[in-house]
Amino acid sequence: MLDRPTKQQNPGAVSAALAELTALFGNRLVTSLAVREQHANITTWHPVAPPDAVVFPQNTHDVQQIVRICAGHRVPVIPFGTGTSLEGHTNAPFGGVSIDLKDMNRILEVHPADFDCVVEPGVTRKRLNDELRDRGLFFSVDPGADASLGGMASTGASGTTTVRYGTMKDNVVSLKVVLPNGELMSTARRARKTSAGYDLTNLMVGAEGTLGIITELTLKLHGIPEAISAAVCRFPSVDAACRAAITAIQSGIPMARVELLDEMQVRVCNAYSKLNLPEQPMLFLEFHGSEAGVAEQATRFGELASEFGSAGFEWTRGTEDRTRLWQARHDMFWAIASYRAGAKVVVTDVCVPISQLAECVAAARKEIECAGLIAPIVGHVGDGNFHASLMVMMDDSGEVARAKAFIERLASLAIAADGTCTGEHGIGEGKKHFLLPEYGEAAVEVMRTLKHALDPDDIMNPGKVV
């Protein structure tokens, strides 16, 4: 096993837990190094810390049994969805058992009249939308990756449609959660709202598996709009693009997506997705509504954008062009990954009040240039959230150090602008030290108190969040 931070465990605790788990789960418990490493931390640059074993439960009862066994030996449990989280959420710095929820992938109920559905945590968002399409419904949260819905809830994911449809917090109605003692908790009933007692749903959304393991989700759905149109629009500067987007929101244009790409991001997309976009700051937009509504929205946006010096405003109702455009947006991670041969892509995100966005993006761009780093910027402008995707040569220790310094600096800039160190990636292992500057001592102490009260033995994804 690896060198690890010490943690109070009985000697032999892991072996004893694994023996009990093997007896119950047979070959659904895997201890090969390859599988353990696949469940550690594939999409980040945090050092890989594999679990002692990976187990594949098939239902909630399985998860309860796993947690009870591990709790009995004070062995950590780490829930695993698709591994697309970005801050080391699935690493096992204290060892323990990774619980891979991919086999819990049933869509249990769809209630079209209530605009909700009940799913297991291993269902991915694309699969859910494939199943819903024929019913005229869709699940709105779209972080780009085809993540699992349990993982998306755990990390408090959001993405391109947040400006119109909200984040996971806004779209989770209730959860079933296996608590650190193995008990199963239901956080709410299926009503659209409640004011009965403490909000356990939102306590669990974004808790990154540190308070319990989500084994069922009731999610809000939306009707597929009658018409969808897409547009691209370029601007003389990032600042002009941001101001156009803010003004559009202010004047009530209900954009479904409004994504900022800086010049470098456009260049990267052109290269990977075979597009011929002019290399200028750009907004990708999407409008949802009736046929007349989307036309009106697009027209109004076009007029308004021209006041900010826009050029080349193009919009389309054609599905093919729209899909191609948004596919390019969704392929950005891979576009970036292939842009600089041999580089590791390290994506970091912050979120600021939208009035601060243009300035914060400009400051980030300047820091990137000054540090000699290569990193396109893309932003969910409507939320004030943006990403810098650093392409880092990991064997260049100087560059690695400069990249780390940039991430620190960007989080500090965002916090200074009354923003947050992460809008949608979460804290994981990577951003724990920003909680104190962001929230102050009193709030962080409350978080620690909550964690300790609910998980006194610290077995739930230890080493993350607090």
- The overall longest dimension of the chain from CA atoms, in Å, is 70
Q: What is the DSSP letter of 464?
A: S
Taking CB under 8 A as the binding criterion, the range among 7-15, 187-195, 231-239, 395-403 that sits at the site for a copy of itself is 187-195
Contact pick of 226, 303, 307, 396 for a copy of itself (by CB under 8 A):
226
Decide if residue 413 touches a copy of itself (CB under 8 A): no
Closest to 14 measured CA to CA, from 70, 98, 64: 70
Contact pick of 228, 249, 337, 371 for a copy of itself (by CB under 8 A):
249
Decide if residue 423 touches a copy of itself (CB under 8 A): yes
Residues 264-323 that bind a copy of itself (CB under 8 A): 289-290, 292-293, 296, 300
Decide if residue 134 touches a copy of itself (CB under 8 A): no
Decide if residue 452 touches a copy of itself (CB under 8 A): yes
- Give burial (CB, 10 Å; 0-12/13-18/19+) of 48: middle
Contact pick of 54, 78, 188, 368 for a copy of itself (by CB under 8 A):
188
Q: Which two tokens stand for residue 465?
A: 């969040």
Distances 164 to 58, 176, 254, 316, 361 between C-alpha atoms, Å: 35, 27, 7, 19, 22
Decide if residue 379 touches a copy of itself (CB under 8 A): no
Give the residue with the Cβ less far from a copy of itself, 173 or 233.
173
Residues 32-91 that bind a copy of itself (CB under 8 A): none
Supply the minimum distance, in Å, between the C-beta of residue 281 and a copy of itself.
Answer: 19
Residues 357, 79: Cα–Cα separation, whole Å? 34
Residues 93-132, one symbol each (x = binds a copy of itself by CB under 8 A, - = not), give: ------------------xxxxxx----------------
Closest to 164 measured CA to CA, from 313, 287, 69: 287
Decide if residue 179 touches a copy of itself (CB under 8 A): yes
Taking CB under 8 A as the binding criterion, the range among 8-16, 21-29, 55-63, 345-353 that sits at the site for a copy of itself is 345-353
Residues 212, 58: Cα–Cα separation, whole Å? 17
Contact pick of 93, 209, 225, 462 for a copy of itself (by CB under 8 A):
225
Decide if residue 368 touches a copy of itself (CB under 8 A): no
Q: What is the CA radius of gyration of the chain?
A: 22
- Give burial (CB, 10 Å; 0-12/13-18/19+) of 134: exposed
Look at the chain and count its residues. Answer: 466
Q: How many CB atoms lie within 10 A of CB 327?
A: 10
Decide if residue 354 touches a copy of itself (CB under 8 A): yes
